[in-house]
Amino acid sequence: MRGTRLGRNHDAFSFVLFQITIILYTMRSMEIPSAEIQSLRKKVRSGAGRTPVPDQRLITGELRLIEKILQKDRGSGEALMRLRRLEKRVGTSIRKREARLNHLPKVTYPASLPIMEKKDEIVEAIRGNQVVVITGETGSGKTTQIPKMCIEAGRGVDGLIGCTQPRRIAAITVARRIADELKEEVGRSVGYKIRFQDRTNRDIHIKLMTDGVLLMETQSDRFLNAYDTLIIDEAHERSTNIDFLLGILKGLLVMRKDLKLIITSATIDPGTFSKAFGNAPIIEVSGRMYPVEVRYRPIDPKANDEEASHVDAAAAAAGELEREGPGDILIFMPTQQDIVDTCAILSGRARGNATVLPLFGRLSSSQQQRVFARTRTRKIVVATNVAETSITIPGIRYVIDTGLARISEYNPGTRTGRLPIKVISKSSAIQRKGRCGRVQDGTCVRLYTEDDYESWPFFTPPEILRSNLAEVILRMIALKIGDIASFPFIDRPAPGTVRDGFALLGELGAVKTEGGKTLLTERGRAMSRLPLDPRIARIIIGAEREGCLEEAIIIASALSIQDPRERPLGKEQDADRAHKPFINPASDFITLLNIWNRYHEILKEEKTQNRMRRFCKNHFLSYRRMREWRDVYEQISGVLKEAGRKRQTKRLQGEVLYEGIHKAILGGYLSSIGIKKEKNIYRMAKGQEAMIFPGSGLFNRGGDWIVSAELV
């Protein structure tokens, strides 16, 4: 009996204890957080508003997580520990922002620049709008003064004021100019970052960089939290990088209301940029100019029965201007080799009366900076179109414009990319003319006719519309930018060319599909690191493996220009006889290699231009295209060097070399394989019929199978 009563009492006690536990648990869940948690939460929330905006987003996210923890357990030790850490983080962030605020440089402006008339309007527009478009003539002060106006508008505290430039030389020069105007060294308030050079630190407020550098930063900093303001300078150039950046920023501005975007352009169709960004306000800056006389001095197409040369014509024009009076001269040339040759002619006759300086992208930084230094004698600068808009060279009174530039183009029909020398657009000619007349009356000598000028298109088409879309798609996948079909390009490529781009990448083995997504293969990743036509990149990669890289670079360079062999009407037999010593009956690619080797053998012996011209004339070769071939070869070699590709010291010979070269070429031109149908007629891989060109070494002796680099 007694034992039974104890059992019943125990059960009752357990039941009461269980009820008490439930009540205590319920009371605990209703418990108000501790005074320390409440105090910390209040301090963090009030302090968050004094931190940089990117930090505010991180702090808000952490507070949300802490609230979820507190909903489950009001007295949570984990929540308390997180709040203590967050309070320290907020304090550090506040001190960092205050330090940046106190570190801001004192801004002053040169009073003489045309942009100063619109300074107050620009500053207010930056304060009141997320996007502003600013246009103005080259030399108006846009590039150097707008970053300082951003500081006056309160920017550069929550993050960097980033300013992109299309070219490395401009990024370095502008950074130095702004720092000089702020009476500081580069690296204090202003820094720059280009490929292989980084002159930035955590204390700077203004960062100059190439558009390619900012594009790469989107991979590690998707929301570009390091910046509170971005300036896309020289946007009118419409390079693929610029179009990529504008597309990325279009989506980013929706998510980051704190981010400001300023698009600067020459006075070329600013409405396109305004419309792309919700009719953003446009501010036009006038460019005060002295009168500029324009002289048309076209090149004689057959001077002295020799092939016409814009180099000689420019040198002659410079001589005439030197006799007219004092003043520095700027000459625009299309290629690096043209610049070297022009400088050689001018230096040879200067005799200390002029300082002749080259200017192109691959010069060292110290060599580039020489064009901005003062000289005791007349300065003659020979430049590519880097001097057209990106930089302003002081003191230029005379401009000589060849009307030529190297402009990449792509033929989707033949799937070939080229780097030809082409005539520029009217807008480029206007920009070149605008480089003189800044300090006094100027003269612009145009080495073409007025009718030629009037016939040119006003704009150079955006690079995205004249590019191999396979290369664009390859870059987009490598950079994880998104799907090309939905990417908000300012000018959208045609769907057919997009499909063709994907097809070509598949053919080259650069991409694969997994889970409905297009990914790069290992070969595709290697190709994406070479900023070349994907077919050429595929040849280069194959040639490295086969041990014939040097030969492949020579052949790839030739495929990027117009064939240097000439076959004039009425002189076909003479041309064929002159070309015969170069011909390899099994391969036109080896024929090109033979031409290159023979030309450079002669070049070692005969260094004067006249003798090289005579060699080319006697062998029915274009002297201009041979020089262009050398220029493209140097460009591709430079790209490979920057990408870490090493030249092969051991050179192959004979059949092994022949086999290696053609294996590499075949990898790039799989869709250009043909099978013989009848004499000189082949059915190509895509079904079309093609005939071997009569000037080919394979004419009348082609094999059963053929691979072609070009279908015309």
Write out pLDDT tens, residues 119-156. 999 999 999 999 999 998 877 899 999 999 999 999 99
Q: List the one residue out of 423, 382, 479, 420 whose CA is nearest residue 635.
A: 420
Largest CA distance in the chain: 137
What angle (nearest 5°) sits at the alpha carbon of residue 462, between those of residues 456 and 464?
A: 140
Q: Do domains 114-285 and 292-463 have the same CATH topology?
A: yes
Q: Give the CATH fold of the 292-463 domain.
A: Rossmann fold (3.40.50)
Short-list 135, 110, 71, 492, CA closest to 286:
135
What tens digit of pLDDT does each residue of 55-96 get?
888 888 888 888 888 887 766 788 888 888 999 999 999 999
Helices 623-642 + 336-350 axis angle, to 10: 110
287, two tokens: 């460019």
| Bridge partners for 230 per DSSP | 162, 261
How far apart CA 604 and CA 649 sit, in angstroms, is 21
What is the spatial distance between Cα 163 and Cα 138, in angstroms, rounded to a whole number? Answer: 17
End-to-end CA distance of the chain: 113
Q: Judge contact between 353 and 380, C-beta under 8 A.
A: no
Question: What angle is formed at CA 399 by the lines to CA 396 and CA 402, rounded to 5 degrees?
Answer: 150
State how far the Cα of 635 lies from the Cα of 328, in Å rounded to an integer: 29
Element (H, E) at 16: helix 2-29
The Cα angle at residue 428 between residues 427 and 431, in degrees rounded to 5: 90
What distance in Å separates the CA atoms of residue 82 and residue 299, rounded to the nearest whole number? Answer: 76
Hey, which residues does 675 pair with through a beta bridge? Answer: 683, 705
Average pLDDT, the chain: 87
Alpha-carbon Rg for the chain, nearest whole angstrom, is 33
Q: What is the pLDDT of residue 15?
A: 43
Q: Please state the CATH superfamily assignment of the domain spanning residues 114-285 in this structure.
A: P-loop containing nucleotide triphosphate hydrolases (3.40.50.300)
- How far is 253 from 260, CA to CA, in rounded Å? 8
Q: What are phi and psi for residue 525, nearest 5 degrees?
A: -65, -40
Phi, psi of 562 (to 5 degrees): -75, 145
Cα distance between residue 44 and residue 50, in whole Å: 10
List of the chain residues with pLDDT < 50: 1-8, 10, 12-31
pLDDT score, position 289: 75
Report in angstroms the alpha-carbon separations of 375 from 173, 325, 503: 18, 16, 55
Question: Structure tokens of 57?
Answer: 């987003």
CA 320 to chain centre: 37
**CA–CA separation, 707 and 700 (whole Å):** 16
- Number of continuous H segments (helices) and E segments (strands) in the chain: 25, 24
Q: What is the CB neighbour count within 10 angstroms for residue 562?
A: 14
- The torsion angles phi and psi of 265, rounded to 5 degrees, stand at -150, 155
pLDDT in the model for residue 378 = 93
Domain residue spans of the chain: 1-30, 35-102, 114-285, 292-463, 468-528, 534-668
CB 397 within 8 A of CB 443: yes
Residue matched to tokens 């502008």:
174
The secondary element (H helix, E strand) that includes residue 27 is helix 2-29
In 142-205, the DSSP E strands lie at: 160-165, 190-194, 197-199
Determine the Cα–Cα distance for residues 285 and 679; give it in Å rounded to an integer: 65
